[in-house]
């Protein structure tokens, strides 16, 4: 579970982007590559402590594996 305010913001931006990519027709492998690039950028820029980046990566992977996050929403 993420508790750091900054890492939560990055997680929310990442997961929102992942859902947006899904809605635009991208599939699992492409979204996973996007996620890996995003995480890599966080590591390279040293915006967050490395242990926070690792936690964010674990949570984002969990989000990606949960198919209910990418289902069609019912109005």
The answer to whether residue 47 is domain-embedded is yes
* CA end-to-end span of the chain: 29
Confidence tier at 75 by pLDDT (50, 70, 90): very low
Confidence tier at 35 by pLDDT (50, 70, 90): very high
Mean pLDDT along residues 69-74? 68
Give the span between the Cα atoms of 40 and 45, in whole angstroms: 9
Could you give the 3-state DSSP secondary structure of residue 60? helix
Is the pLDDT higher at 24 or at 72? 24
Domain residues for the domain of 42 are: 5-66
The answer to whether residue 75 is domain-embedded is no
The answer to whether residue 10 is domain-embedded is yes
The answer to whether residue 59 is domain-embedded is yes
Task: Please check whether residue 13 is in contact with residue 62, taking contact to mean a CB–CB distance below 8 angstroms.
Answer: no
The answer to whether residue 26 is domain-embedded is yes
The answer to whether residue 45 is domain-embedded is yes
Instruction: With a cut of 90, say whether residue 14 has pLDDT above it.
Output: yes
Question: pLDDT at position 1, please?
Answer: 83
Q: Give the total number of structural domains in the chain.
A: 1
Mean pLDDT along residues 44-54? 95
The answer to whether residue 25 is domain-embedded is yes
Cβ neighbours of residue 30 closer than 8 Å, sequence gap 6 or more: 21
The answer to whether residue 23 is domain-embedded is yes
């Amino acid at each position: 579970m993420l508790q750091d305010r900054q890492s939560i913001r990055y997680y929310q931006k990442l997961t929102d982007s992942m859902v947006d990519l899904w809605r635009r027709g991208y599939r699992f492998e492409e979204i996973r590559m996007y996620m890996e690039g995003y995480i890599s950028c966080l590591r390279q820029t040293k915006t967050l402590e490395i242990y926070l980046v690792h936690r964010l990566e674990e949570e984002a992977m969990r989000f990606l594996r949960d198919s209910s996050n990418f289902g069609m929403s019912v109005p």
